[in-house]
């Protein structure tokens, strides 16, 4: 019998992905609406979630197993239109996660995904820092 990875971030056992108890929410946003060069950024969230099943769950730096606090993977926030409408959708989903006391982790396709999450975070936390990780250095003039 072939081994099947459990659904969701980290391939976690059901007890650690319970939506009623999770402290962390992974929010996949597969959007590729404003990419100017090569399309495919919308595949990023699913690829990250799939690959996460192979990561070590113990964090050496913090000497902890954060996954034990619970990580729920939400249904993808899907949108095919303009980025301003996407931003509103993402803002609502992320705001809902903050209201539930969860720490949201947004996995995006491309840059437009971020603005809604930033707005929700700024509304929920007046003093915050944001770490945005990109796959490459953006060197184009804007």
- Is 70 exceeded by the pLDDT of residue 123? yes
pLDDT of residue 34: 80
pLDDT of residue 142: 57
Can you say how many angstroms the Cα of residue 131 is from the centroid of all Cα atoms in its chain? 13
116-128: average pLDDT: 94
110-130: average pLDDT: 91
Structural element, H or E, at residue 45: helix 44-52
pLDDT of residue 48: 93
Banded model confidence at residue 109, pLDDT cuts 50, 70, 90: confident
Q: How far apart are the first and last CA of the chain?
A: 53
pLDDT in tens, 53-108: 999 999 999 999 999 999 999 999 998 889 999 999 999 999 999 999 999 999 98
Q: Are 93 and 74 in contact (CB under 8 A)?
A: yes
Provide the b/e sequence for 88-101 (b: ≥16 CB within 10 Å): ebbbebbbebbeee
Structural domains in the chain? 20-124 (3.40.800.10)
Please, what is the Cα angle at 130 between 38 and 102, to 5 degrees? 100
Q: Are 97 and 27 in contact (CB under 8 A)?
A: yes
């Amino acid at each position: 019998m072939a081994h099947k990875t459990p659904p969701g971030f980290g391939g976690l056992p059901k007890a650690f992905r319970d939506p009623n108890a999770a402290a962390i929410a992974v929010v996949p946003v597969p959007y590729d609406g404003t990419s100017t060069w090569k399309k495919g950024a919308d595949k990023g969230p699913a690829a990250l979630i799939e690959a996460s099943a192979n990561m070590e769950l113990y964090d050496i730096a913090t000497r902890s197993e954060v996954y034990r606090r619970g990580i729920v993977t939400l249904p993808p926030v899907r949108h095919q239109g303009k980025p301003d409408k996407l931003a509103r959708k993402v803002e609502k989903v992320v705001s809902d996660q903050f209201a539930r006391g969860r720490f949201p982790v947004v996995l995006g396709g491309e840059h437009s995904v971020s603005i809604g999450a930033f707005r929700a975070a700024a509304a929920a936390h007046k003093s915050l820092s944001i770490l945005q990780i990109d796959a490459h250095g953006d060197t184009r003039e804007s």
